């Protein structure tokens, strides 16, 4: 009996890949009043990609500083950070830990656990592998990914402003990771 995930060729060298924060972002969209979308991003993110010899050994982790929210409106951002909404004093970060990665070629899926405050829920992302490139300036090798998924605010106890803000938040991650030096 064979394990198909063990047979999938990994396109990345094993090791701890570092986030390229200058070419990575966490973006989101939420409906306002049910008629329009508000888009935003989080400015501060830490993430890591651990690639093992087998697909089942791949792990992704990320921590987002919720106070770094940017919707393009400073007054709105301050209100979202406040105790009656997101309450970043009580919930300073959002963390994600993958539990399973599957796929091949350009199309992948990542399952994991998202924690906001003291609530953890399973969240899955569709992941598009953008490819690998050697950066001419320093010779480092970068891998690019886009991950998309959605969460429900109410699943995380963030059910403030019903009717004003939609429950579903669509998430888009654009990430670049740098290959470990020993593997380059």
**Residue 35 phi, psi dihedral angles, 5° rounding:** -120, -20
The helix/strand/coil state of 1 is: coil
d(CA 80, CA 137): 40
Nearest to 61 by CA among 93, 87, 39: 93
6-58 residue pLDDT tens: 435 568 889 999 999 999 999 999 998 888 999 999 999 999 999 988 888 99
Q: Which tokens is 147 given?
A: 């991950």
128-175 residue pLDDT tens: 998 888 888 888 899 999 999 999 999 988 887 777 889 999 999 999
pLDDT of residue 2: 37
Q: Which tokens is 169 given?
A: 């938040």
Average pLDDT over residues 69-94: 90
pTM of the model: 0.85
**Res 184 pLDDT > 80:** no
d(CA 114, CA 118): 10
């Amino acid at each position: 009996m064979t394990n198909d995930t063990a047979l999938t060729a990994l396109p990345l060298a094993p090791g701890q890949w570092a986030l390229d924060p200058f070419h990575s972002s966490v973006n989101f969209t939420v409906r306002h009043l049910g008629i329009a979308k508000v888009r935003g991003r989080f400015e501060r993110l830490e993430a890591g990609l651990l690639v093992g010899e087998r697909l089942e050994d791949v792990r992704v982790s990320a921590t987002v500083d919720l106070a770094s929210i940017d919707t393009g409106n400073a007054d709105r951002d301050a209100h979202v950070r406040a105790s009656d909404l997101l309450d970043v004093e009580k919930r300073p970060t959002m963390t994600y830990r993958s539990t399973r990665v599957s796929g091949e070629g350009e199309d992948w899926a990542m399952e994991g656990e998202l924690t906001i405050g003291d609530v953890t829920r399973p969240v899955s992302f569709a992941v598009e592998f953008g490819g690998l490139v050697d950066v001419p300036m320093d010779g480092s090798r970068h891998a690019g990914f886009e991950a998309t998924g959605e969460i429900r605010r109410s699943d995380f106890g963030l059910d403030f402003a019903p009717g004003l803000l939609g429950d579903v938040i669509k998430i888009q991650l654009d990430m670049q990771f740098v290959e470990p030096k020993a593997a380059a």
